Amino acid sequence: MSNEIFGPVAPVIPFDDEAQVVRWANSTDWGLVGYVFTQDVDRAFRMHEQIEVGMLGVNTGLVSNPAAPFGGIKESVLGREGGRTGIDEFLELRYLALPRRSGE
């Protein structure tokens, strides 16, 4: 449960305490994507707020979407790609300050 695995692997651990699940999920150095399967929409939002991942899938194994930024946190991916947010990673912001001309 502490390695970032790129493959069709689905670790499943039964639990009684939601807070313990959040601690388990956040106890890794990785944070690309997480998944929550629940019928409780309030739990889905709580997990989104508490689990330290760049993307969270709720009741789906597919989180990629061309319109959404793709990326993680912690040791999983620096920056974002995709979507309007992702384009910022490819741009250089520049600023120009010009003084006012006298008399204006």
Under the banding of pLDDT at 50, 70 and 90, the label for residue 104 is low
- The encoded tokens of residue 44 equal 């889905």
pLDDT above 70 covers a percentage of the chain that reads: 94
How many domains does one find in the chain? 1
Domain assignment present for residue 2? The answer is: no
Judge contact between 70 and 81, C-beta under 8 A: yes
Residue 64: partners with Cβ closer than 8 Å, 6 or more residues away: 70, 82
Tell me the residue range of the domain where 67 lies.
Answer: 18-90
Q: Is 93's pLDDT higher than 70?
A: yes
For residue range 24-60, what is the model confidence (pLDDT) as tens digits?
999 988 898 899 999 999 999 999 999 999 999 999 9
Say which range, 18-27, 64-73, 77-86, has the weakest mean pLDDT: 77-86
- The encoded tokens of residue 7 equal 């493959």
pLDDT at position 18: 93
Q: Is 2's pLDDT higher than 70?
A: no
pLDDT at position 52: 95
Domain assignment present for residue 96? The answer is: no
Domain assignment present for residue 72? The answer is: yes
pLDDT at position 86: 72
Domain assignment present for residue 47? The answer is: yes
Domain assignment present for residue 3? The answer is: no
Domain assignment present for residue 43? The answer is: yes
